[in-house]
Structure 1
């Protein structure tokens, strides 16, 4: 590969990195705010939002951002197909993290309402911010 082609690709990637960052931060803050409101009430407040945001960065970075990068190759603003795929990956991510954090090999997590609420909330929020910041 010629050097100027490589430089052009690096330039393209560096132009969109801030948008990925804004989408990630907005998603983490939004989902942590929803979690604080519905789980801890006002007693958690701002410290709860900050703490939850730090925990949410890991699954979003591991699962959602790679999917987001793939979707950004063919950008579509507020696409229902992208939304459904985000839900699918969100269900998988929440299952894996609940399994790892609880060290529970049973499938009991799939019967809880919180599993589906958290998965759907994470997907909606990430899809919204992805459409706002990255999809053209």
Structure 2
């Protein structure tokens, strides 16, 4: 039963993070808010959190600490690298690194996941 509780806490972390991140993305980058764009953004955020944040979360959860500052810094660095790579691969190119939006968005993604991770997953 302990494993089932861990899976539920992880799913809560991911679901709340995805919804929060999709709202932040919509407010920062999209002018209109539509349900279809929200679903697409949520799916993209879910895959990104699953691929990039989950391994870090598993690594950091070896020594769990709620709202630990280094966890936020770790999530921010990884988020900045991922967002930077995605910016280079899309139409933004190198100009994305001049804009404050890349850094703000990376920090907000890290902050969202760090917050929900601390609420649902971290024990101490």
TM-score, normalised to structure 1, is 0.79
* Counterparts of residues 1-136 of structure 1 (less than 5 Å): 13-41=3-31, 43-102=32-91, 104=93, 107-136=94-123
Q: Is the 8 A contact 1:29 1:50 kept in 2?
A: no
Other structure's SS at 2:58 match: helix
1:83 touches 1:127 (CA, 8 Å); kept in 2? Answer: yes
Deviation at 1:98, TM superposition (A): 2.0
Give the gaps of 5 or more residues in structure 1: 1-10
* Greater length-normalized contact order (CA 8 Å, ≥ 6 residues apart): 2
Paired residues, number: 123
Residues 103 and 117 of structure 1, relative CA distance in 2, 3 Å threshold = closer
Q: Distance in 1 between matches of 2:92 and 2:41?
A: 20
Structure 1 residues 33 and 12: alpha-carbon distance in aligned structure 2, compared to 1, 3 A threshold? same
- Unpaired runs of 5+ residues, structure 2, are none
Give 1:36 shift: 1.8
Bigger radius of gyration among the two? 1
Corresponding residue for residue 7 of structure 1: none
Instruction: Give how far 1:26 is off.
Output: 0.8
State how far apart, in whole Å, the 2-side matches of 1:46 and 1:16 are. 30
For residues 24-53 of structure 1, what are the alpha-carbon distances to aligned partners after superposition, in whole Å with 9 as ceiling and x for unaligned? 111010011122223335x31443332211
